[in-house]
């Protein structure tokens, strides 16, 4: 009986650990979903990056003389 009681205590302890780990995992997933960007934000960011790159290319093209 004593060994059964010890085994039950171990199972309960493991169950509590699993519950805690799952709660933490679900909490982390919920936080990640809240921080996830939507497609419109990504497209806007991409457009702004492309505009900045194009501006940089134009400035650099003016700085170098044509060798022709």
Coil, helix or strand at residue 68: coil
User: What's the pLDDT at 67?
Assistant: 61
Question: Where do runs of H (alpha helix) occur along the chain?
Answer: 2-35, 39-63
With a cut of 90, say whether residue 3 has pLDDT above it: yes
User: What is the rounded CA–CA span in Å between residue 68 and residue 6?
Assistant: 88
Q: Which two tokens stand for residue 5?
A: 């009681």
Q: What is the pTM of this model?
A: 0.49
User: What's the pLDDT at 33?
Assistant: 85
């Amino acid at each position: 009986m004593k060994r059964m009681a010890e085994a039950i205590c171990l199972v309960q302890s493991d169950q509590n650990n699993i519950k805690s780990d799952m709660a933490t995992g679900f909490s982390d997933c919920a936080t990640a979903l809240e921080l996830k960007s939507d497609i419109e934000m990504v497209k806007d960011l991409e457009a702004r990056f492309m505009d900045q790159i194009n501006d940089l290319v134009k400035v650099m093209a003016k700085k170098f003389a044509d060798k022709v």
